[in-house]
Structure 1
Amino acid sequence: MQVETRYITWVTPFMYANALTTAGVKDAKVMAAAPFQVSGTAALTGIIKSFETATGRKLSEHSKAVAHREMVETSELGQQVGKEKAETIMYRTKKEVLERHVTDPGEIRKIVISIAGDVGVKLSPQDVERITGLMAEIQKLNVNVDHLNKQLESIRGTLDRLTGTTSQARGIMEQLLDFLRAIIERLSRLLS
Structure 2
Amino acid sequence: MSGKSICAIILVIIAVAIFVPFGSSDHVGGTSDVVVTYGETTYNNAEYKQIVNNYFNVNNAKESVITANDVNKISSDISQRTYNSNQIFSCAMVDVSGNNNIDIDVDTSKITTVTPSMYKSALDSAGITKGHVKITSPVSATGESALAGIMQSYEESTGTKIPDKVKDAANNEIYTQSEVAQNSNASADDIAKMMDTVKEEVAKENTTDAGKITNIVNNVASNNNIQISNNDINILVNSIQQTQSVKDQASQYQSQLSGYVNSGAAQSIFDRAIAFINSIINPTNKVGNTNTTNNSSNY
Query: Is the shorter-chain TM-score for this pair beyond 0.5, marking a shared fold?
Result: yes
Asked whether the equivalents of residues 210 and 237 of structure 2 are also in contact (C-alpha less than 8 Å), the reply is yes
Q: Following the alignment from structure 1 to structure 2, what is the Cα–Cα distance between the partners of residues 51 and 140?
A: 22
Report the equivalent of 1:28.
131
Which is bigger in relative contact order (C-alpha 8 A, separation at least 6)?
1
Q: Following the alignment from structure 2 to structure 1, what is the Cα–Cα distance between the partners of residues 190 and 118?
A: 12
Q: Which residue of the other structure, out of 106, 116, 132, is the alignment partner of 1:5?
A: 106
Equivalent residues, number: 145
Q: How far did residue 100 of structure 1 move?
A: 2.2
Report the equivalent of 1:154.
none
Q: Which residue of the other structure, out of 105, 109, 113, is the alignment partner of 2:218?
A: 113
Q: Which protein has the larger Cα radius of gyration, Structure 1 or Structure 2?
A: 2
Residue identity matched to 1:115: V
1:166-185 equivalent positions in 2, closer than 5 A: none
Report the equivalent of 2:175.
72
Greater shift in the superposed pair: 87-96 or 135-144: 135-144
Report the equivalent of 1:140.
245
Q: Which residue of the other structure, out of 85, 89, 96, is the alignment partner of 2:201?
A: 96
C-alpha distance after superposition, 1:24-79 (max 9, x if no partner): 22312101111222111111111110110001110010110110110001011111
Identity %: 30
Q: Which residue of the other structure, out of 44, 47, 52, is the alignment partner of 2:150?
A: 47
Q: Following the alignment from structure 1 to structure 2, what is the Cα–Cα distance between the partners of residues 11 and 122?
A: 20
Q: Which residue of the other structure, out of 147, 150, 160, is the alignment partner of 1:57?
A: 160
Q: 2:162 is paired with a residue of what secondary structure? A: coil
Asked whether the equivalents of residues 102 and 139 of structure 1 are also in contact (C-alpha less than 8 Å), the reply is yes
Asked whether the equivalents of residues 24 and 59 of structure 1 are also in contact (C-alpha less than 8 Å), the reply is no
Q: How far did residue 103 of structure 1 move?
A: 2.3
Q: 2:139 is paired with a residue of what secondary structure? A: strand
Q: How far did residue 84 of structure 1 move?
A: 2.5
Q: 2:195 is paired with a residue of what secondary structure? A: helix
Q: Which runs of 4+ in 1 moved over 2 A?
A: none
Report the equivalent of 2:188.
83
1:15 to 2:112 alignment: no
Asked whether the equivalents of residues 108 and 132 of structure 1 are also in contact (C-alpha less than 8 Å), the reply is yes
Asked whether the equivalents of residues 183 and 228 of structure 2 are also in contact (C-alpha less than 8 Å), the reply is no
TM-score by length of 1: 0.71
Greater shift in the superposed pair: 20-29 or 69-78: 20-29
Residue identity matched to 1:105: A
Asked whether the equivalents of residues 105 and 134 of structure 2 are also in contact (C-alpha less than 8 Å), the reply is yes
Q: 1:31 is paired with a residue of what secondary structure? A: strand
> 1 or 2, which has the higher helix percentage?
1
Q: Following the alignment from structure 2 to structure 1, what is the Cα–Cα distance between the partners of residues 233 and 140?
A: 31
Asked whether the equivalents of residues 117 and 193 of structure 2 are also in contact (C-alpha less than 8 Å), the reply is no
Structure 1 residues 131 and 72 mapped into 2: Cα distance closer, same or farther (>3 Å)? same
Q: 1:121 is paired with a residue of what secondary structure? A: coil
Q: How far did residue 4 of structure 1 move?
A: 0.3
Structure 1 residue runs of 5 or longer lacking an equivalent are 148-192
